[in-house]
Amino acid sequence: MAPADMCKEGSAYDLPIALGILTASGQIAAPQIADYVIMGEIALDGSIRPIKGALPIAIQALKDGFKGFILPQENAAEAAIVKGISVYGVGHLKEVNAFFDNPKSLTPTALDARKLFAEQDTEKGLDFADVKGQETIKRCMEIAAAGGHNIILIGPPGAGKTMLAKRLPSILPPLSLGEALETTKIHSILGRVKERGLIRQ
């Protein structure tokens, strides 16, 4: 929870606050608790709910030299993209208590980001080639995609702005691993990372 003078807000601090109280009051013995970053929202029944921003937190935890990261099970694949830190997904407060009694009670989540990135999606998305007409805007979008330029689409409802924007990724080059990680960090902060953990498109 340090530094103490930094304002903190949000339900993601439920789990570390609960463990801090349990440890300080002597209800659990966890001398190694300072080696771990711990985040998670706690429901009234003790279950751990997912948080936003697990990937950037894991990256910072690695930089700060923490041994591991304890977080909700739903966020484990996302955080496991980061190599060099053990990621433990938990579903209930009791699992965290048991972990500090016996560290072998939880298995770290393992994920090979390079292998995951190399796997090709079998799903076909929306294709830019399906757009009929709209020659001027299609040419503009092709030029913007080729040059890596920004695009702003302005027009009345029903003109095709959203339809074109959804199909633009089909003419963009594939993301590099670095670009995929950067994109995943943004989606992580918004809480939109899927179970596979890495945004590749």
**Average predicted confidence (pLDDT) for the chain:** 89
Mean pLDDT along residues 87-114:
91
Residues 2-16: pLDDT tens digits? 778 888 788 899 999
- Token digits of residue 31: 């001398």
Residue 152 pLDDT more than 50? yes
**Phi-psi category of residue 130: left, alpha or beta, with phi > 0 → left and psi -120 to 50 → alpha:** alpha
pLDDT at 73: 94
- The contacts of residue 4 (CB under 8 Å, 6+ apart) are none
Per-residue pLDDT band at 122 (split at 50, 70, 90): very low
Residue 112 pLDDT more than 70? yes
Cβ atoms 116, 197 nearer than 8 A: yes
pLDDT at 5: 87
Mean pLDDT along residues 163-179:
89
Calpha distance 67→108 (Å, rounded): 12
- Token digits of residue 137: 């805007």
Mean pLDDT along residues 25-37:
91
- The contacts of residue 66 (CB under 8 Å, 6+ apart) are 35, 36, 37, 85
pLDDT at 180: 84
pLDDT at 37: 95
C-alpha 40 chain-centroid distance: 13
All structural domains of the chain: 11-111 (3.30.230.10), 119-190 (no CATH)
Cβ atoms 191, 41 nearer than 8 A: no
Mean pLDDT along residues 113-118:
74
Residues 61-99: pLDDT tens digits? 999 999 999 999 999 989 998 999 999 999 999 999 999
Q: Three-class SS of residue 89?
A: strand
Cβ atoms 95, 72 nearer than 8 A: no
Calpha distance 89→192 (Å, rounded): 18
Per-residue pLDDT band at 120 (split at 50, 70, 90): low
What would the DSSP string read from start to end of 106-120?
Answer: SPPP---HHHHHHSP
C-alpha 28 chain-centroid distance: 30
Percent helix / strand / coil, the chain, rounded to 5: 45, 10, 45
- The contacts of residue 188 (CB under 8 Å, 6+ apart) are 52, 53, 54, 55, 56, 78
